[in-house]
Chain A
């Protein structure tokens, strides 16, 4: 995957933005790069990048979260100094909340995004109920662009059916991803899934699944 200074990950609820953000951050950190992850989710009460504080700590990845993330204060408050964050050495990955509602949070930082080399990547998942059709995925992308004031620069095909993902699901999604990319006139920058399901897919970006249910995590620990 090609990175810019600032990488904004956006998409439908449950398209897999958080898992991709975590994987991107770990890949960059693995190469010895400095990385800051910004949890910009103002719509989701739980399951977010703020959950990965310990993992990021182990890899020297800096994490910036909304003041009240994972607390009981349910308000969309963002107190970031985005300029200050962007001034830091290394890469910035911004995990945005789902849909156009979540993308609204980007608007106030537009001057920062214009000042730095920035890309916004749109994550799609053919198995998600309301973005199963290319037209639906495309409409949501336009909604996100309108809400954020930014244009998407590329598409990530992160088609998955949670724990029931397999290689057929990935290969079946190729046509769907192609249709979205062609209609949007954007490049497919990555196909993301677990290594074993990707086969010889072009633009493959193997990921590990970090966003897991507690009983799945426990099963992994026991194995």
Chain B
């Protein structure tokens, strides 16, 4: 078993990227994710990779676009306002069927907002990460170790389905320290990392590859988008994930993701000790959204509580998941304020066992 070390979430994401075979990182600093850039600026040159601080987020994402087109594993990271700047590039990357990993260590918004933790980019990442018909695979890890494990998975799935994958963290996850383990084994790239479509020089030995998101004929564009959406169905079937605890006999089920799920789980466990029948289900992927898993977790519940570090952006997805079959209430804090376990517990007590 590999040795455990103490790492800050941002550093762990960066190290995990290197170990996942990421060879190029393009970024622009922004709190609370700057440690990703700082770490990679030191580590990338040592592994023969490229670290480049671009002149802006827009430049960085377009460098990712070019790099991904050449078939190299690449990544960018930012925090909320920076991700907004990247959305045009992300749409082009999706429209060109290119794989890459994008990390968003969320902070408060809208606008320049604040530097404290937030989950107020849920709508953006799941519904509108750029213009046009497309999705990105979205992971919402809840611990530093899970962030490490997710990075490899994100690169592999991005390659396999030729699409952007996003790791949606927040300032709390990025800044906190936890023990982590990295596998000692050599990096095993998935088969999809072999990319016959890449524009990396044909040397007059094969037909040249074209990376493009512009279609001159509307029916070609429609066919392309439809083909992409067929692939999305496969991802939904194979890679949707959620984890539920204490839900079997629960009268109230809490739905929360990311660091908020950690806070909510401590409140759920405290409520259990008080004899309140409450469970928790945590979406691990936000797209594809674990609607079936949430419905299953909530099947015996009388009511559902959605907890978020936002004004309640996931609430409607929970309602759809359970087909509006029972009341869904919300508790959350926003603007960089973290919902405290005691506040969540108070809400659980209020709802516990209510019809």
How many chain A residues sit at the interface, stated as a range, is 20 to 34
Decide if A45 is an interface residue (CB 8 Å cutoff). Answer: yes
Among B173-218, those with CB < 8 Å from A are 175-179
- Name the contact of B171 in the complex, choosing from A46, A129, A215, A222 (C-beta under 8 A): A46
B338 within 8 A of A: yes
Residue B340 interfacial (CB < 8 Å): yes
Contact B267 A218 (CB under 8 A): yes
Judged by a CB distance under 8 angstroms, whether B114 is at the interface is yes
Q: How many A-B residue pairs have CB under 8 A?
A: 77
Interface stretch (choices A49-57, A77-85, A160-168): A160-168
Pairwise interchain contact B267-A129, C-beta atoms closer than 8 A: no
B5, A45: Cβ atoms under 8 Å?
Answer: no
Interface check A14, CB cutoff 8 A: yes
CB-nearest residue of chain B to A164:
B179
Which of A74, A132, A218 touches B342 (beta carbons < 8 Å)?
A: A218
Whether B266 is near chain A, meaning CB under 8 Å from some CB there, is yes
> Are B5 and A218 interface neighbours, CB within 8 A?
no
- Residue in A13, A45, A127 whose beta carbon sits within 8 Å of that of B115 in the complex: A45
The residues of A that contact B341 with a CB separation of less than 8 Å are 214-215, 218
Verify A162–B113 contact, CB threshold 8 A. Answer: no
- Chain A residues with Cβ below 8 Å from B11 are 129
B238 neighbours in A (Cβ, 8 Å): none
Please classify the interface of chain A as helix (H, G, I), strand (E, B), loop, or mixed, using the class held by over half of its residues: loop
Interface membership of A111, Cβ < 8 A = no
Q: A74-B31, A127-B4, A218-B342 given as contacts; is B176 within 8 A of A47 (CB)?
A: yes
| CB-CB nearest in chain A for B11 | A129
Given contacts A46-B116, A129-B7, contact A162 B262 (CB under 8 A): no
**How close is A118's CB to chain B, nearest CB, in angstroms?**
29
| CB-based contact B263/A214 at 8 Å | yes
CB distance from A190 to the nearest CB of B (A): 19
Q: A160 touching B6 by the CB < 8 A rule?
A: yes
Q: In the complex, what distance in Å separates the CA atom of A14 from the CA atom of B5?
A: 11
Q: Do A46 and B4 touch (CB < 8 A)?
A: no
**B19 on the interface (CB 8 Å rule)?**
no
Residue contact A127 to B179, C-beta cutoff 8 Å: yes
Where the two chains meet, the residues of A that have a C-beta atom closer than 8 Å to any C-beta of B are: 13-14, 44-47, 72, 74, 125, 127-129, 132, 160-164, 213-215, 218-219, 221-222
